[in-house]
Each structure stands twice: as C-alpha cells, then as structure tokens.
Chain A
Amino acid sequence: MAATHVVAEGPPVTAARDRPPADLVGPVAWLRRNLFNSWWSSAISILLGYLLVRWAWGLIDWAFVNAVWTLPATANPLDLAMPCRKLEGAGACWAMVGDKWRFILFGRYPYDMQWRPALCVVLFIALYGASANRLFWRKELLWIWIATLTVIAVLMWGGVLGMGFVPQDQWGGLPITLILATFGLAFAFPLAVAVALGRRSREMPVVRVLCVGYVELIRGVPLISLLFMASVMFPLFMPEGLNPDKLLRAQIAIILFAAAYLAEVVRAGLQALPKGQYEAADALGLSYWQKTRTIILPQALRMVIPPLVNTFIGFFKDTSLVLIIGIFDLLTAGKVAMADPVWSGFSTEIYIVVALIYFGFCYAMSSYSRGLEKQFGKAKNR
C-alpha cells in the first residue's frame, strides 16, 4: 500500500498518487484542452492553423529562402540591384539594406565620423538601462542624465577635443529620433510636474485656470498642428534676426506636447495618494514646497512610473511625425533611402527594417513597464 512508503516528516510521495489521470496531462491532453475543446474551437484551430502555416511558409520563402543577401561585385552602381530585380518579388532584397544601413541609421552625418552618432546611440541605450534599474532611483540619477546628455551634445556637434564640427542640418537617422524623444522627456518632465501641481492647487485659481487651459488646449489638437506651428508660425513670434534652427523648433513643439500628456499622468499620481499623507505633512508644519518635495512627489511619482513609461513609448513613436515638416529622423532617412532610383521598388524591405528598430525600442520599454506593474502589484496585494 502507498502508506507504507511514507517517510515520517516528508510529504507522501508515491507514484500512484503523484500522477494525475493520463487524460489530464501530456501533450495530447493539452491539445484537447486548449485547441479542440469543442467542435467550434476545433474549427477555429484548424482554420487558423491552416492559414498560419500557409502564410508562414510564404513569409519564410520570401524573407529567407529566396532572398538576396549580398551585393554583387560590379563596378557600375546601377547594376547593384540586378540580382534583386531578377527575383521579381519572389524574395526579399536584403542586399539593399546592406548597402543602405549606414544611411538609414545615421543619415547625412559625415561618413568617416559616424562613430560619433553610433556612440551616442549606445549612450542613450545605456542611459535608458540605468534609469530602468531600481538601484539608480535616487538623486544621483539626475546628475547621470545631465552628464550623459552633455556628452551626447558634445559628440554630436563636435568642434572640441579634435573632433570636427558637424552642424545640425547634417544630423540624421536614429540619433535624431532618440534626441527628440529623450531631450523631449528630460525637459517636458519638470514642466509636467509643475503643471500638474498647478492644476491641483486649490488656493490659486489663476494658476489652476492657466494650467487647465494649457493641458486641454494641447491635448485637444493633433501633434501635427503643433509641429506646423513650430515650423511656420514660430519664426513669426521671434524678434527679427533671431531664428532658431528647425530641429530646435520641432524639439520645443514636442516638449510642449509631451508635457501636457505627462502632466495628466502625474496628476493621476497626485490624486491617487491618500489624503492622510497631505494631512500628516501639514500636521508636521512643513511648508508647501517641503511637503511637495519630500513627501508628496517621491510617492506620487513612484506610483505612476508604469504609465509614464507607456506615455514615453507614445512619444517615441510620435517623434516619427517630424517627417512631415522635413526633419531627418529614422523614418525620414528610411524614406530617403528608398527614393534612391537604383533601388526603386524595394521599399518594403526598408519599412520592415525601420519598423523592427522602432519595435525593438518600444517592445523593450513596454515589457519593462509590464514587469514593473507586476512588481508594484505584488507589493500592494501582499
């Protein structure tokens, strides 16, 4: 009998009791439970499976089996696309990406100096990585941001330490996308906190009305209208002779846009904080700024980190809109690359590569935010 095998303090381990009935475990049972648990479900599974296999087959054929991977060795640049053209659409032309990848990533930045934007991209990724790590969630993070962004600015412009000066209109590609998104966040965030606090202030109706007006106005119009404003209206606002660069103007538009959305996220955090925290701080006799700086903001901001990351993903994608006002970001670089007459007709490959770059960044951020939410949830539901 099973009982004779039981060791005094261990759990009862016997083969007969450990194993559930054969029709509840194993791959067949799994299939039955998850794919064929009713005739309706079976029909869906079979149909989807068929379509999936067919499409996957076609995709693999196109993307890998029939694809052209290497550039032909010809002197004539017009012949570079010959092997790809011979396929007549049966396979992908990755050779084109091999020819164009430096242009897609770095745009018109001087070719022999492209290690500088490349280093900037690495720095940006390291900065994101450091900010995502909880070990760095302290005051020093601010200094890390300031230092890194300064180094990035020096690398991009150059002009010191023996690096040649590169004007902004030669920058392009992925660094522009990262600059617009990261500098946008760095400047929009303090503004957003100020606006959120202003919107919550009960004693100063004038400040509140200004903040509400700002947030609702920006959130009510599309980003494009702000970008148009930056590119055609902004020069009219400035005194004569002072005309900021197009990139800077777009950056300001993105900051103003991002701040309105971030302010709403921060406000949600301020509202979610229990009233007792405000009252306890008042009872301690702290002034408004002491209370806000040491009690309210640290807790409120911590709570809204996951939605902040999600909002940031939104901006990251939205920076691609600068294509419309002619700024050379990653998507614009891709579009210019496919306009090359040598490679005309192979735009799909470029779109796939650019989409994969965007997807990589956004997916990393969104899975980070999901993981964080789960951790926070665990602490709350303990």
Chain B
Amino acid sequence: MSGTTADPRLAAPRLAPRRPIRLSWSDGRFRNIVYQILVLAGFVLVLRYLVGNTMMNLEARHIATGFGFLDSTSGMPLGETILPYTAGVSTYGRALTDGVLNTLKVAVIGVVLATVLGTLIGIARLSPNWLLSKLAAIYVEFLRDIPLLLQLLFWYVLLQGLPAPKKAISLFGAVFLSNRGIRIPQLNWEDAHSFALLACAVGILGSVLWAKYAKRRQDATGIRPPVWPVSLALIVGLPVVVWAVLGAPWDWELPALKGFNFQGGGTVTPEYAALLTGLVIYTASYIAEIVRSGIQAVAHGQWEAAQALGLHRGKILRLVVLPQALRVIVPPMTSQYLNLTKNSSLAVAIGYQDVVSVASTTLNQTGQAIEGITIIMVVYLSISLSISLFMNWYNARIALVER
C-alpha cells in the first residue's frame, strides 16, 4: 500500500472556484439578480394596485374590514349541525364552525367509502370473469365522463322524488326512505357504550404493541406468536366484555310515523345523502383505475416467485403484491382524496350547508366578501395540507428503501 494517492471517488467533489460577481450585463449571475428584482417589483406593484383599489372601493361602499362580524348574531337557519346552533341566537363564528364540521363529515366518510368501493371495482376490472370486468369497465368509463355537478343534481332530484313520509319505503320496518331523508334506528347512548368504545381503543393500542412484540420474537427466535387471534380478542372481545359487565344495554329507538313526518331515530338528510352518494360514486371510478394500474404494475414474476416459495394466495397478496402495489397507488390516491374534499364544496349547489355554502350566505348577509372567501380558502388549504402531510408520511413509510 503506497498511501500516497487516495481514491478520487471518495474525495468530496471539487466545485468550480467561486469568482466575484461583476456589475456587468455579461455576467449571468448579475443578470439573474436584475431580472429577479424586476419580477419582484412588478409583483409588488400589481399587488399594491389591487389592494389600493380594494381599499378605495370598500371605503366607497362603507364596508368595514376585519373579522369582527364573526361575533355578531346570525339569522341564517342551518339544516343539520354537529355543534348546537340556533338561528337568531348563535353567532356567525359558530355557523361557520358548523359548516367546517359538515364539510369534514362528508369528506371523511366519503374518502372511506370511495376507497372501499373504488378498490372493489378496481379488482373487479381485473377479474377473470368477463361479465364482471366489463361491467366494472363500463362503470368507470361512464361515470368519469360526466360532470360531478350534474351527477349530484341528478341524485338530489332522485332522492327528492321519493314518496312522502306517509308512503315511505320501509326496509325491514326499521329504515324509512322518504323525500324528507333517510330515517335510521338510533342506539340510546349510555355510559356502557362509551366505556366499550374506550375499551376498543385500548384494544387497538394493545394489539399494535402485541404485533410489535411478535415481530421482535419472530426476528429473535424464528417462531411467531399468534397475532390475529390475540388482536381479535383485544379489539372485539374486550369491548364486548366491558359492555356485558356494565349491564349490556341494547335499546334502539325506532323511527315512527307521527303526523306528517317521522319522529325518533336518526336522520340522514336528502342533501347529505345525495352529496355523499355522488362524491363516492364519482371518486370511486377514479380510485378504481388507480387500484387497477397499481396491481398491474407489480411484475408477474413477483406472483410466481412467491408461489415458488410456497405462499398461498392470500399471503402473496398481503405480503408480496400489495406492498409493491401501494407504492404506485398511494401518490395518486392522495390527489383523489384531495379532489374529493375539494369537490365536497359543490354541496352549495344542492343546499347542503358545508363551509362554502355557509360562508357564501354569510358574505351575502354581511357584505364581508373578502373575509368570507379568505375563510373558505384557509379552511381548504389547511385540510389539503393535512391530507398531504399525512399521505406523504404514509408514502415515506411504505416507499422502497434503496440501498
């Protein structure tokens, strides 16, 4: 070993020597700085012009700026709310909060249902059964090429065309479909149910810990302790035991026809049902394509190699194909979730009171156009950002670790 010359590949890359910037048009760096200053100056000037105009217009129309209106009483009636709200008593701030919660209610449930439906249809499109795969293909082709707004309006008209409560369509005598919405039985909530839910959460936490322990045991000894039975016992068994110990209350409130409408039970309004149906059915057609292309992106050799190792079909799908397919599926799925959330703003067209609808009523009543639209944008930007962050985290977790 001579020790005189080190391997050049291991040395840090040598950068070109930095030369001082010249104040001359022929120096690229100087030019870039001048261009950037010009662009920035133009941007600031346009912004100043627009803000100046806005200030003048607001003054001319005697509109006060600021978010003070959030504390004033709102007379706008809200159809369905999560937090208690009374028109004429509650504030605009509360109305907008309810609007945001309504948006989230549609978005969260919509994302879950669209994922389930989309995955099923995506897999159906790959089915060896000709009829099934063709029907799935027709579903995807047809629904993707019709505007969502039209579909929403159509579902809404369809739900409004249901018979009046007196002639409501009854499913098993417990669920009633009428033009006032869908009435479902509701559980009379008691402490036992809360404790059972708590037990379920504890069970989920416990099974995650148990799975981690099992993985460590398997790595150390090669023998895997049972995971599924233990998890099942923790997640389902524990809550049931807690519920049974606390007296096993099981009291459902059934909807019943009284006068012109149903009393009792829970309600799904026609607006919510139409919005959810439209969003789920439309988004599922996109998700189906994503799932299909994800599964198709996994090379056939992976299936065969896994079969050669002696894995059965379920394990191949779970351990070999899905982890690889997910890498292809997750990034476009993120943008579909974002799309569904943003598309839920079409609620305003069918009268479901989401944040856009509440904010637009607010800005009509108070004249606070800038504030109203700023609120809409901030709400959606934060929702979009949260979904992106979560999905990026998930994507990083499942991404291929290259060495």
Question: Does B36 lie within 8 Å of A41, measured CB to CB?
Answer: no
How far is A9 from B207 in the complex, measured between Cα atoms in Å? Answer: 72
The answer to whether A221 touches B157, judged by C-beta atoms less than 8 angstroms apart, is no
Determine the chain B residues whose CB is within 8 A of the CB of A238 once the complex forms: 53, 57
> Which residues of B sit under 8 angstroms from A207, Cβ to Cβ?
35-36, 39
**Is the Cβ of A236 less than 8 Å from the Cβ of B57?**
yes
- Residues on A with C-beta less than 8 A from B363 are 232
C-alpha gap A348/B158 in the complex (Å): 8
B40 near A206 (CB under 8 angstroms)?
Answer: yes
A324 within 8 A of B: yes
Kindly state the separation between the CA atoms of A41 and B360 in the bound complex, as whole angstroms: 51
A44 and B127 alpha carbons, distance in the complex (Å): 11
* A323 contacts chain B at the CB level, 8 A cutoff: yes
User: Which of A37, A223, A233 counts the most chain B CB atoms within 10 A?
Assistant: A233
Whether B154 sits at the interface, judged by CB under 8 Å, is yes
We find that the number of chain A residues with CB closer than 8 angstroms to chain B is 52
Closest to B157 in A: A347
Q: Residue-by-residue, is B233-265 near A (CB-CB < 8 Å gives 1, otherwise 0)?
A: 000000000000000000000000000000000
Which residues of chain B come closer than 8 Å to A49, judged between CB atoms?
131
Known pairs A44-B132, A359-B142; A225 contacts B345 (CB<8 A): yes
Q: Does A236 lie within 8 Å of B369, measured CB to CB?
A: yes
- Nearest residue (CB) in B for A362 is B145
- Could you say which residues of chain B place their CB within 8 Å of the CB of A324? 346, 348-349
Q: Does B342 lie within 8 Å of A45, measured CB to CB?
A: no
Q: B35 to A228, Cβ gap below 8 A?
A: no
A321-B346 in contact (CB<8A): yes
CB closest chain-B residue, reference A41: B129
A225 with B376, Cβ < 8 A, contacts A41-B129, A363-B145 known: yes
Q: Is the Cβ of B149 less than 8 Å from the Cβ of A220?
A: no
How many B residues touch A, CB cutoff 8 Å? 53
- A213 CB to closest chain B CB (Å) equals 10
B146 touches A220 (CB 8 A): no
A289 at interface, CB cutoff 8 A: no
* A interface footprint on B31-68 (CB within 8 Å = 1, 0 otherwise): 01001100110010000001001101110100000000
Query: Is A237 located at the chain interface by the 8 A CB criterion?
Result: yes
Q: Flag whether A62 is at the interface (Cβ < 8 A).
A: no
**Interface mask (B262-280 → A, CB under 8 Å = 1, otherwise 0):** 0000000000000000000
Question: In the bound complex, do residue B373 and residue A228 qualify as a contact, i.e. CB atoms below 8 Å apart?
Answer: yes
Q: Distance in Å from the Cβ of B133 to the closest Cβ of chain A?
A: 9
Residues of B within 8 A of A41 (CB): 128-129
| Residues 300-359 of A at the B interface (beta carbon under 8 Å) | 313, 317-318, 320-321, 323-324, 331, 335, 347-348, 351, 354-355, 358-359
Q: Is B174 an interface residue (CB 8 A)?
A: no
Interface string of B145-166 (1 = CB under 8 A from A): 1111110011001100000000
Please measure, in the bound complex, the distance between the C-alpha atom of A313 and the C-alpha atom of B150, giving whole angstroms.
Answer: 15
Are B147 and A35 neighbours in the complex by a CB distance under 8 Å?
A: no
Q: A204-B32, A207-B36 are in contact. Are A221 and B145 (CB under 8 A)?
A: no
- B109 on the A face (CB < 8 A): no
- A204 touching B142 by the CB < 8 A rule? no
Please measure, in the bound complex, the distance between the C-alpha atom of A260 and the C-alpha atom of B368, giving whole angstroms: 27
**Chain A residues with Cβ under 8 A from B29's Cβ?**
203
Kindly list the 7 A-B residue pairs having the minimum CB-CB distance in the complex, ordered from nearest: A362-B145, A34-B130, A222-B342, A317-B147, A222-B345, A320-B147, A206-B36
Residues of A within 8 A of B (CB): 34-35, 37, 41, 44-45, 48-49, 52, 203-207, 210, 217, 219-225, 228-229, 232-233, 235-240, 313, 317-318, 320-321, 323-324, 331, 335, 347-348, 351, 354-355, 358-359, 362-363, 366
B residues within 8 Å of A by Cβ?
28-29, 32, 35-36, 39-40, 43, 50, 53-54, 56-58, 60, 127-132, 135, 141-142, 144-150, 153-154, 157-158, 342-343, 345-346, 348-349, 356, 360, 363, 369-370, 373, 376-377, 380-381, 384-385
